[in-house]
Structure 1
Amino acid sequence: MMRIIRISIAVFVCSFTVISCNYFSKPQDKPIAKAFDNYLYSKDLDGVVPQNTHGSDSVSIVWGFIDQWLHEQAIQHQAEENVKPNDKTIQDQLDVYKRSLIRFQYEQELIRQKLDTIVNEKEIASFYEINKENFQLKKPILKVSYIKLSQKAPKIAMVKKLFTSKDLRDFDLLEKYCFKYSTNFSLMDTTWHYTEELAQILPISKIGENNYENLNRIFEISENNTLYLLILRDSKFKDSLSPLAFEKQNIKNLIINQRKLTLINQMEKSIFNEAQKNNELEIYHK
């Protein structure tokens, strides 16, 4: 029987490649697949194949959809044979889920319409000051300037001198040099990074955590015919206070989340009070 079903589906899928898109706009009552007492019709395939998908690609997508439908129907049938859908426990769970889903949708719409998502710098700074104990670093973070060069790059000694200089003219010269010879560089990055993030682009582990306090000196690392020049601009260690700049986005998210909770609580209180005012809520005393 399954072989017959598969042959029928295969015929349909093959014909899918030569039938125009109008095929699906016409009434089609004949099923293309059957699983127990359930049927799959051609109209159920509307939207399955993305626009501008043709030939073997469209065939593969349609076949995959039909095959997945058959699998799901078989598994669902077996589950329902062992757990009856009208079981009171199942129905109670469905009722709870339905109520939760309706309430969630209502809350999301309320948030979409009324939540203020603008958080200014003063609010962020105030939140940080009040909650400093919650912003302890769990891992070290670094500010790093770096230059990645071929070991055959010219004038390395000059580059090192320019790299440690505070003269703006030297910075301009170094930047021009990097644009010409460096495959990757960052000279004035003021962003904090976790060490594992830096390790994706730099051999930062070769510096060693014991050297993280050695700021504004050049670390020179050679690896795979590549020369890395690194300067630690700043560092913060595990269990130290995380900088405000590093926590800004996190704080913004926390403030917005607090606003969400406040908005929902106000909504709940308002609805409850209105229901009481209108005598919609009653307690029957014995």
Structure 2
Amino acid sequence: MFKYKSEEESEEENPVVASVGNQNLRKSEIAFITSEISAKEDSVNITNRYIQSWIRKQLMIKEAAKTITFDEAELNRKLLDYRYALMVYEFEKAHVKDNSDTLINDIEIERYYNENKENFSLKEIIVRTNFFKLEKTNPQNKALEKLLSARKSENPEKLRQIALDHSTNHYTEDSTWIRFEDIIINTPLASNNNKVELLRNNKLIKVDDEVYTYYFKILEYKLQDQIPPLDFVKDEISKILMNKKRVALVEQLQKDIYKRAQENNEFKIYD
């Protein structure tokens, strides 16, 4: 035989954890926090923050209701519009997820770059470089400087070996473009105010501080406002193309639904 729970029993199972006026926040409404967070201490902290946030929101609503006269019909219309917009958004997102090819191939990226390269403009200096930081007393300094001064790297293996065995810090990904500011951070070059002239006049930049010597073999550089190389904007273009695919999928979905509804006489337009 089915037994109805009394109001007292329901209150015990789902007690009020906070209240503002006649608005109550019950235990069941914050259960998702403990179910999603495994660490007890984190769960308690997050629960407390959620309760405080709920209280602040309710107080603001209460104060707003006292201060401003709201048009209930207009408020309900906006809530309904928001609800429908959220439903459509979730539907479109699920459709894109189920139908989108997440891979953008190199041919697509290169084509977009060639057609739109004038729209890309560097906001900072970028370089392809080799970087080495050695103690000034290290006996390999002369050998390293000689190798880096050569027009072409005559012995890349020797460079890598010096980097591994003797450098305090190094960067040898010379085929990768990198922000110049990122490579010179924490070196004496960071305070140099004429970086453009420095790059234009030096293939090998050598600077010292009290303890270390820093070597920058500049293989290639691009200045601010110049068009960046494809490799530097490849990820950005990939994101642009993915977004275009998402937009196209949503637009086609809307067209298909409209056409199907039109064919099935699911809507009418009255004069």
Q: Normalising to structure 1: TM-score of the pair? A: 0.77
Name the structure 2 match of 1:236.
222
Report the Cα offset of residue 227 of structure 1. Answer: 1.6
CA contact (8 A) 2:140 2:162 kept: no
Q: Whole-Å Cα distance in 1 between the matches of residues 74 and 186 of structure 2?
A: 54
Name the structure 2 match of 1:172.
157
Report the Cα offset of residue 185 of structure 1. Answer: 0.5
Check 1:122–1:45 CA distance in 2 against 1; reply closer, same or farther (3 A cut): closer
Per-residue CA distance 1:177-215 (angstroms, 9 max, x = gap): 221221210234221122333343544443621132346
Secondary structure in 1 aligned to 2:175? coil
Q: Whole-Å Cα distance in 2 between the matches of residues 40 and 129 of structure 1?
A: 57
Name the structure 1 match of 2:73.
88
Instruction: Please report the RMSD computed on the Cα atoms of aligned residues, expressed in angstroms.
Output: 2.7
Q: Whole-Å Cα distance in 2 between the matches of residues 60 and 266 of structure 1?
A: 45
Secondary structure in 1 aligned to 2:200? coil
Check 1:41–1:278 CA distance in 2 against 1; reply closer, same or farther (3 A cut): closer
User: Which amino acid is the alignment partner of residue 89 of structure 1?
Assistant: E
Name the structure 1 match of 2:136.
151
Q: Whole-Å Cα distance in 2 between the matches of residues 271 and 195 of structure 1?
A: 51
Q: Whole-Å Cα distance in 2 between the matches of residues 232 and 52 of structure 1?
A: 50
Q: Whole-Å Cα distance in 2 between the matches of residues 47 and 263 of structure 1?
A: 33
Name the structure 1 match of 2:6.
none
Check 1:269–1:78 CA distance in 2 against 1; reply closer, same or farther (3 A cut): same
Name the structure 2 match of 1:262.
248
User: Which amino acid is the alignment partner of residue 35 of structure 1?
Assistant: V
Report the Cα offset of residue 27 of structure 1. Answer: 5.0
Name the structure 2 match of 1:282.
268
Report the Cα offset of residue 61 of structure 1. Answer: 5.3
Name the structure 2 match of 1:34.
19
Q: 5+ residue gaps in structure 1?
A: 1-25
Correspondence for 1:223 among 186, 191, 209: 209
Q: Whole-Å Cα distance in 1 between the matches of residues 47 and 253 of structure 2?
A: 46
1:108-119 superposed matches below 5 A: 108-119=93-104
Q: Whole-Å Cα distance in 1 between the matches of residues 44 and 121 of structure 2?
A: 55
Q: Whole-Å Cα distance in 1 between the matches of residues 166 and 48 of structure 2?
A: 53
Name the structure 2 match of 1:196.
181
Q: Whole-Å Cα distance in 2 between the matches of residues 269 and 30 of structure 1?
A: 49
Identity %: 25
Per-residue CA distance 1:194-249 (angstroms, 9 max, x = gap): 2333343544443621132346x321112352221111110112332221111211
Q: 5+ residue gaps in structure 2?
A: 1-10
